[in-house]
Amino acid sequence: MTGTEISTGTRSPLWRNVRVIRVALQVMAVVVVFGAIWILGTNLRDELIAKNLPTGFDFLNQPTGVTIADSSFKPSSPVWAALIAGMKNTFALTIVGIPLVTILGTLIGVARLSTNWLVAKAAAVYVETIRNIPPLLIILFVFNVVILPLPAPNDPATPLDWFVISNLKIVGPGFTSSPGAGILLIIVILALVAAVIVGRWRTRYSDQTGEHHHRMLWGLGVFAAIVLVGYVVTGRPVAFSLPVLEGRVITGGFGGLGSYFAVLAALVIYTASHVAEIIRGSILAVPRGQTEAANAIALTGFQRLRFVILPQAFRFALPPMINQYLNFTKNTSLAIAIGFAEITLVTFQLIGNGFPAPQLILLLMGAYLLFTLTISLIANVINRRLQLVTNR
Amino acid sequence: MKRIAILAVAFALVLAACNGNSDATTTVPSGTDDTPPPAAMGDLLQTVIDRGSVICGVNEAVPGFGYTDADGNFSGFDIDYCRAVAAAVFGDAEAVTYRALTAQQRFTALQSGEIDVLIRNTTFTASRDGREGATFLTTTFYDGQGMMVRSDSGITSIDDMANLSVCVLSGTTTELNLAARFGDTPFTPLTFDNNDQLQAAFVAGQCDGWTSDKSQLAGVRTNFPESEGGPEALTILDETFSKEPLGPVVADGDSQWAQVVNWVVLATIQGEEWGLTSANVKDYDGDNNEIRRFLGLEVTTDEGTAVFDPGLGLPTDFAVQVISQVGNYGEIFDRNVGPSTPLGLQRGFNAQWTDGGLLYAPPYR
């Protein structure tokens, strides 16, 4: 430390000490930010009181009186249950949508770099058209042009007797569950963990002995054995079922409202166009020498992509992909335009029926925050894992 | 992780600020020291006069009540009441700025002061009166909820509709009545936030029924596309399953402005009772002192002649302006929704009390 105090020998005054200034600035920034939030919050509260509007969150326990399509929600259920029902529908969109977006986006991104002229141009046209159309228009288009022209629910189409398709509801083969299905789900998760452990053990074994690891075979075998035993032990709680149409009631099978599929398809189509560009850019960012090296050891085109290019490209792609996943989640709020009861529609429905708007909008923002932070958290964990591999 | 923690703290702070005084609101009556006083009496009336126009929150998608034509002109029963307020305040029925609102937006617009008055087929309910900070004024239209189905569907009663789907506008009392009417009977409610998308879904057969106030159903029925069979393809079931008193709404806290809008409505009702129409109101020269007071004409009393001013804050001749420029209740009804219009509604409950209806204006004295 002595070396830093050169000529005078006296300590510099506190207000010129860099470390003190840094800390002070940070403290000030925190105070300003939280002060602003506090002022906004109290301002909101005072205005509400002045206008004789309810503050507080007591309304969450009152019955809503509204109904929500295709859900077990009853008009006598409280407000918080309605919000949960809305979040479930938003979750149903994101959990199915994000994997589909990843797959479709990757396919199109790879296709755009294809040496086949037709495939490359088709992918280019897709990306350039779709990503320049607002997602709301795509949702309205899919709903009005694809879903509504389907047969009306009083005379649905039943292709192969496996599906019941109408513009109200689309149901396909699925599983019916009885009590015990929850336990089976836990067993399946445990089986998955066991399979991963066995796979790791096989990898280690292979590293030590040099014998082939067959880890896929081993893992799947362990997984199948555990699940099969669990299935029998829990009393076969899950059965394959086809949708059955009786009058207007569809029992069995697995499906959703027409509006659900409209939002899902529209947002997957839209977001995939952005993901495709990310994938294309990431593939181009992999050094050319990697391709040449892969060619030099005579890998096929598919092998080159699967084992050399894509694993590296995904590392570049992941951070911007997280953004697209978040966009997908936030864009689900556009479903309000076609009446799919996700969290935004439910919130507005409640506001329209006399529940306080400021509080509900705060809760709505909180709900989206919860969704997006969860997604970033998961994605960041994956990202860190990928990054570690490079640093090793 | 740090980012999440910061966001969580910020969010909790807002919630806390919002929740902080929730107990105080229930115990402290408004107007005491620690709450800001409500807007001073007459503030909004003066604001409106200074601005030179009334900002009126309206519907734009219900023919007969509030509707915009292709040129963007508003017309309808509710629109005429906006014009009546302007006629009373300014003597000019055209001094109105219209704000088209959805059902969900309307109360927020009223609370935030974006509009002066909400005249948008809004049902008077206790919770809206209490929780939305709204003051409901004299009902202009006594309505009830009905169900519209395809004429060829074979549905004759709501009891035939178990397991069927029903389209409804979200954020409306009709949504609540629908749930109550079906009770434990399973059905699929499809909620839309605008009538156009709802109509597209109905045309495609996605919903078997379309529920709303009967007057609104009559309005959209007249507008049903000819390619789908026109109005004849639709039937409004006889059953009425709710009370829907519709009328103008103002924000809580300004009783003078509430009086002004209220007496504009009452003037149209009183005018009809006395047979004053847009054609004859300006020429009235009779000696009925009640009518002379109402029209702001000189009244002879023991102390001499004087013009009666009830102190509403309106010009003494406001009733003349309202009736001559917009018409009395009967004229407004007949012009927009009456038997000679496409909607073809009968007066029903909306007749004068002297004809067995519910329209009854208090004495003007």
Contact A339 B205 (CB under 8 A): no
> Which of B127, B150, B170 to probe by mutation at the A interface, max A CB count within 10 Å?
B170
Q: Which of B334, B340, B215 is nearest to B272 (CA)?
A: B334
Taking a C-beta distance cutoff of 8 angstroms, is the pair B60, B103 a contact?
no
pLDDT score of B19: 55
Interface of B with A in 289-318 (CB under 8 A): none
Closest residue of B to A144, CA-based? B200
pLDDT score of B27: 37
For chain B, what is the domain count? 2
The pair of structure tokens assigned to B24 is: 């105080």
| Domain closes at, from B211, B242, B273 | B242
Taking a C-beta distance cutoff of 8 angstroms, is the pair A308, A291 a contact?
yes
B22 pLDDT higher than 70: no
The answer on B138 and B256 residing in a single domain is: yes
The answer on B83 and B66 residing in a single domain is: yes
Cβ partners under 8 Å of residue B65, min gap 6: B59, B76, B77, B78, B121, B141, B215, B216, B219, B336, B337
Quick check: is B19 in a domain? no
Reported confidence tier of residue A16, pLDDT bands at 50, 70, 90: confident
Quick check: is B30 in a domain? no
CA distance A218 to A212: 12
Helix A117-130 with A79-112: angle, nearest 10 deg? 150
Q: Name the residue among A34, A348, A365 with its Cβ closest to that of B170.
A: A348
Taking a C-beta distance cutoff of 8 angstroms, is the pair B31, A56 a contact?
no
Contact A348 B193 (CB under 8 A): yes
pLDDT score of B108: 87
Q: Which of A146, A110, A301, A257 is nearest to B191 (CA)?
A: A257
Q: Which of A354, A77, A356, A67 is nearest to B177 (CA)?
A: A67
| Domain closes at, from B210, B242, B274 | B242
Question: What DSSP state is assigned to residue A146?
Answer: I
**Which residues are paired to B168 by β-bridges?**
B191
Higher pLDDT, B33 or A125: A125
Contact A152 B4 (CB under 8 A): no
Least confident among A46-55, A254-263, B246-255, B277-286: A46-55
Q: Is B255 on the interface with A (CB under 8 A)?
A: no
Quick check: is B195 in a domain? yes
Min Cα–Cα distance to chain A from B147, Å? 17
> Which residue in the block uniquely carries the two structure tokens 């086809």?
A242
Measured at the CA of B186, the angle between CA B185 and CA B192, to 5 degrees, comes to 115
Burial class (CB in 10 A: 0-12, 13-18, 19+), A201: middle
Tens-place pLDDT, residues B174-190: 888 888 888 888 888 88
3-state secondary structure of A304: helix
Measured at the CA of B129, the angle between CA B126 and CA B134, to 5 degrees, comes to 165
Strand ranges of the sheet holding B74-75, from the earlier edge strand across to the other edge: B61-62, B66-68, B74-75
Encoded amino acid at B346, one letter: Q
Mean pLDDT along residues B329-334 = 94
The answer on B251 and B130 residing in a single domain is: yes
Quick check: is B253 in a domain? yes
**Within a 13 Å sphere around the CA of A79, how many CA atoms are in the beta-carbon half?**
21
Taking a C-beta distance cutoff of 8 angstroms, is the pair B74, B68 a contact?
yes
Contact A49 B193 (CB under 8 A): no
CATH code, domain with B84: 3.40.190.10
The answer on B181 and B106 residing in a single domain is: no
Closest residue of B to A71, CA-based? B188
The answer on B155 and B131 residing in a single domain is: no
CA distance A302 to A311: 13
Tens-place pLDDT, residues A253-290: 788 888 999 999 999 999 999 999 999 999 999 988 99
Min Cα–Cα distance to chain B from A387, Å? 18
The answer on B115 and B101 residing in a single domain is: yes
The pair of structure tokens assigned to A166 is: 């109408």
Taking a C-beta distance cutoff of 8 angstroms, is the pair B168, B212 a contact?
yes
Host H or E run for residue B96? strand B96-100
Reported confidence tier of residue A77, pLDDT bands at 50, 70, 90: confident
Q: Name the residue among B23, B192, B200 with its Cβ closest to that of A148.
A: B200
Min Cα–Cα distance to chain B from A346, Å? 9
Distance of CA B91 to the CA centre of its chain: 22
**Which residues are paired to B307 by β-bridges?**
B298
pLDDT score of B4: 59
Q: Name the residue among A153, A362, A373 with its Cβ closest to that of B205.
A: A153
Q: Which of B214, B203, B206 is nearest to B189 (CA)?
A: B206
Host H or E run for residue B301? strand B298-301
CA distance A204 to A193: 17
Distance of CA A82 to the CA centre of its chain: 21
The answer on B218 and B179 residing in a single domain is: yes
**Given phi > 0 = left and psi -120 to 50 = alpha, else beta, which region is B147?**
beta
Higher pLDDT, A357 or B12: A357
The answer on B125 and B269 residing in a single domain is: yes
Distance of CA B361 to the CA centre of its chain: 18
pLDDT score of B37: 40
CA distance A274 to A331: 14
Encoded amino acid at A350, one letter: L
The answer on B204 and B106 residing in a single domain is: no
Quick check: is B157 in a domain? yes
Q: Is B13 on the interface with A (CB under 8 A)?
A: yes
CA-atom Rg of chain A in angstroms = 28
Reported confidence tier of residue B12, pLDDT bands at 50, 70, 90: low
CA distance B280 to A347: 51
**Separation in Å, CA A133 to CA A126, A127, A138:** 11, 10, 7
Tens-place pLDDT, residues B95-114: 999 999 988 888 889 988 89
Quick check: is B78 in a domain? yes
Contact A153 B206 (CB under 8 A): yes
> Which of B9, B33, B44, B104 to probe by mutation at the A interface, max A CB count within 10 Å?
B104
**Separation in Å, CA B18 to CA A48, A64, B6, B127:** 9, 22, 19, 21
pLDDT score of B1: 52
Burial class (CB in 10 A: 0-12, 13-18, 19+), A92: middle
Residue B360 neighbours by CB distance under 10 Å: 13
Taking a C-beta distance cutoff of 8 angstroms, is the pair A51, B130 a contact?
no
Cβ contacts of B207 on chain A, cutoff 8 Å: 168
| Domain closes at, from B219, B242, B265 | B242
Q: Name the residue among A50, A259, A348 with its Cβ closest to that of B35.
A: A50
Closest residue of A to B40, CA-based? A50
Cβ contacts of A261 on chain B, cutoff 8 Å: none
The pair of structure tokens assigned to A49 is: 């009181």
A4 pLDDT higher than 80: no
Least confident among A67-71, A174-178, A378-382, B44-48: A174-178
Cβ contacts of B186 on chain A, cutoff 8 Å: 249
Q: Which of A182, A172, A183, A184 is nearest to A241 (CA)?
A: A172
Q: Name the residue among A46, A249, A351 with its Cβ closest to that of B104.
A: A351
The answer on B260 and B135 residing in a single domain is: yes
B151: containing domain: 145-242
A25 pLDDT higher than 80: yes
Q: Where are the alpha helices (DSSP H) in chain A?
A: 18-50, 79-112, 117-130, 135-141, 181-209, 215-233, 258-285, 288-296, 301-303, 310-331, 343-352, 357-391
Q: Where are the alpha helices (DSSP H) in chain B?
A: 2-19, 22-27, 43-51, 77-90, 106-111, 126-131, 173-182, 195-203, 214-222, 255-273, 289-295, 318-325, 329-336
Rounded to 5 degrees, φ, ψ at A265 are -60, -45
Quick check: is B22 in a domain? no
Tens-place pLDDT, residues A225-255: 888 888 887 777 777 778 877 777 777 778 8
Quick check: is B31 in a domain? no
The pair of structure tokens assigned to B184 is: 């434990």
**Within a 13 Å sphere around the CA of A299, how many CA atoms are in the beta-carbon half?**
15
CA distance A298 to A288: 16
The answer on B350 and B264 residing in a single domain is: yes
Cβ contacts of A44 on chain B, cutoff 8 Å: 17-18
The answer on B227 and B249 residing in a single domain is: no
Measured at the CA of A192, the angle between CA A97 and CA A226, to 5 degrees, comes to 130
